[in-house]
Amino acid sequence: MTTATPEILLTDLVFPEGARWHEDALWFSDVHADVVLRFDPAAGRLDRVAAVPGGPAGLGFLPDGRLLVTAGHDRTVRRLERDGRLVVHADLSDLASWHLNDMAVDGHGRAWVGNYGDDSAPPAPPRPANLVRVDPDGTTTVAAGEMLFANGIVVTADGGTLIVAETRSTPGRLTAFTILSDGTLTDRRTLCTFAPSVLPDGLTIAADDAVWVASPFSGEVLRVDPGGAVTDRIEVPHPYAVALGGRRGEDLFVCSADHWEPDLARTARSGKILRLRP
């Protein structure tokens, strides 16, 4: 494992998650503070984008630039309109068995949304759950079943492959699917399995389709090449989400927090945004 000293960009957050780089800024959810934030590293400016009661999590952007955000507890995907209104884009309450989690939006505006399955915690086994596709018009479809705590989600540069972190499979793994032209997922396969200490969480994908993986409980971020091999491991305290960005797309932003439990996180306010330059 490589030991690096990450640069601290922001502190005093509750539980930052769902990081995405978009329009020269880092967007992320402060989940237990019920807000979505936008940070411009060049200007050092932090802006509040929207209040999202019930735990915002995954973020993504429609082709026209409008923000989508999962509202975890009420199991909806919200859309931020240009006039500042936050409206319901899709209701997943009939397809998601528990709180919504991470999300990726592809170049066609299709959102891929995971959920926890149930409220259990390790060592209890999770309830297998659906991965849901939300089409641009808000139509919802079960894209894949039997997901074991679908977490970080990314789409390859050509739009042809969806990669999902299954945090609570044994062992933790990255699962890949081929995306057909109509949005159907096929050819389900395991891209990578991890050591028992790694519970893969947030993901970000590079231009060469290498995937960076946040592993909060082993205290590291890992690089997985397109063939599924772990090529790099960098020690980072409590990383829950990652996003590649910056001027050349080479900065690795990390969402870190000492506690994920809501009450502890709100009391400690240990959440940070870190930057690595691997």
Chain segment 227-260, per-residue pLDDT in tens:
999 999 999 999 999 999 998 888 999 999 999 9
pTM across the whole model: 0.96
Higher-confidence residue of 172 and 247: namely 172
Please name which of 117, 144, 102, 138 lies closest in space to residue 17, comparing C-alpha atoms: 102
**Range list of H helices, 70-139:** none
Give the side-chain half-sphere CA count within 13 A for 221: 32
Q: What pLDDT is attached to residue 5?
A: 85
Q: Give CA–CA dist 153/114, Å, rounded.
A: 8
The H-or-E segment that residue 59 falls in is strand 56-61
The H-or-E segment that residue 35 falls in is strand 35-40
Residue 130 annotated as part of some ligand binding site: no
∠196-200-206 over CA atoms, to 5°?
130
Which residue is it, tokens 């231009």?
A: 207
Q: Give CA–CA dist 187/130, Å, rounded.
A: 16
The H-or-E segment that residue 154 falls in is strand 150-155
Torsion of CA 98, 99, 100, 101, to 10 degrees: -110
By percentage, how much of the chain surpasses pLDDT 70? 99
Confidence of residue 261 (pLDDT cuts 50, 70, 90): very high
Instruction: Say which CATH superfamily domain 2-276 falls into.
Output: TolB, C-terminal domain (2.120.10.30)
pLDDT digits (tens, 9 = 90+) for 132-149: 999 999 999 999 999 999
pLDDT above 80 for 72: yes
Mean predicted confidence (pLDDT) in 3-10: 89
Confidence of residue 166 (pLDDT cuts 50, 70, 90): very high
Higher-confidence residue of 111 and 119: namely 111
pLDDT digits (tens, 9 = 90+) for 174-208: 999 999 999 999 999 999 999 999 999 999 999 99
Q: What pLDDT is attached to residue 1?
A: 67
Mean predicted confidence (pLDDT) in 79-107: 97
Confidence of residue 218 (pLDDT cuts 50, 70, 90): very high
Beta bridge partners of 176: 163, 189
Tell me the CA distances in angstroms from 259 to 57, 195, 271, one per residue in order: 16, 22, 8
Q: Give CA–CA dist 43/261, Å, rounded.
A: 32
Residue 118 annotated as part of some ligand binding site: no
Q: Which of 30, 34, 106, 201 does the annotation list as catalytic?
A: 201
Q: Give CA–CA dist 150/148, Å, rounded.
A: 6
Mean predicted confidence (pLDDT) in 123-128: 83
**195 and 122 Cβ atoms separated by less than 8 Å:** no
In the chain, the amino acid numbered 97 is S
Is residue 91 among the annotated active site residues? no
CB proximity list for 153: less than 8 A, separation 6 or greater: 58, 102, 103, 104, 112, 114, 162, 163, 164, 165, 203
pLDDT digits (tens, 9 = 90+) for 13-40: 999 999 999 999 999 999 999 999 999 9
* Average pLDDT taken over every residue of the chain: 96
Please name which of 183, 108, 192 lies closest in space to residue 152, comparing C-alpha atoms: 192
Residue 115 annotated as part of some ligand binding site: no
**104 and 62 Cβ atoms separated by less than 8 Å:** no
Q: What pLDDT is attached to residue 278?
A: 81
3-state secondary structure of 266: helix
In the chain, the amino acid numbered 165 is A
